[in-house]
Chain A
């Protein structure tokens, strides 16, 4: 099955910074990748699908890019509410399954 590796595992940044998180697939997955944001004690929130499409209601400072094996989530200007853990996810055709990356924890510097 395809594995997703996120880097870094944690990142410290300041309000207003531009940050880029990375997700690497163990084999090519075209653009079939989503990103989620999770805050402590809360359910994950769906942010981006098909690698670069922004889910309705998600602020435009979030953007996704990539295809094949390398993907990025960029936050153009960090806001206080963006400090959270971010996960990438793919759904596999064979074997049929869902896969999550290990997550990147974004912390306040």
Chain B
């Protein structure tokens, strides 16, 4: 059974930093791309970042370029999102999702989400 579990969400001040983690199991982690998708309160889904199965290639939405960094440790089946220079508009539930391809694709398995609140 595939399982995806995020952690690391917290209340942080504007300009601060936070690192999210996502542990996956039940599939060959290194064979699939992974992605972060967020959802602001009462809003729709917004793609944030994605990374290839090998970790060599990353993709970022324009809204987070230069501030967020996605990475993975295939030895630990873990995905990360390092978030710097956080803004109020980054407040959202952050979901980790596996992708159907080794680079990009559809989001087939999702975690339950972790809440990031940016506020003073």
Contacts and interface: CB of A to CB of B under 8 A. Distances in A.
Interface of A: 34, 36, 38, 42-46, 49, 55, 85, 87, 89, 91-92, 96-103
A89 B108 contact: no
Contacts of A45: 110
A43 B112 contact: yes
Interface string B5-40: 000000000000000000000000000000101000
B51 to A, nearest CB: 11
Contacts of A44: 37, 45, 95, 107, 110
Nearest to A96: B59
A102 B47 CA distance: 12
B104 A96 contact: yes
Contacts of A42: 112
Interface of B: 35, 37, 44-47, 50, 59, 61, 95, 100-101, 103-113
22 contacts: A34-B107, A36-B45, A43-B111, A46-B106, A49-B100, A49-B108, A91-B105, A91-B106, A96-B104, A97-B59, A97-B61, A97-B104, A98-B37, A98-B47, A98-B50, A99-B47, A100-B37, A100-B46, A101-B44, A102-B44, A103-B44, A103-B45
A49 B106 contact: yes
B106 A87 contact: no
Nearest to A1: B62
Contact of B35 (A46, A85, A98): A98
A43 B59 contact: no
A55 B100 CA distance: 12
A91 B105 CA distance: 6
B113 A43 contact: yes
B45 A87 contact: yes
B108 A46 contact: yes
B106 A100 contact: no
Given A36-B45, A43-B111, 13 more contacts: A42-B112, A46-B109, A55-B108, A85-B44, A89-B107, A92-B104, A97-B47, A97-B59, A98-B47, A98-B104, A99-B47, A100-B46, A103-B44
Contacts of A46: 106-110
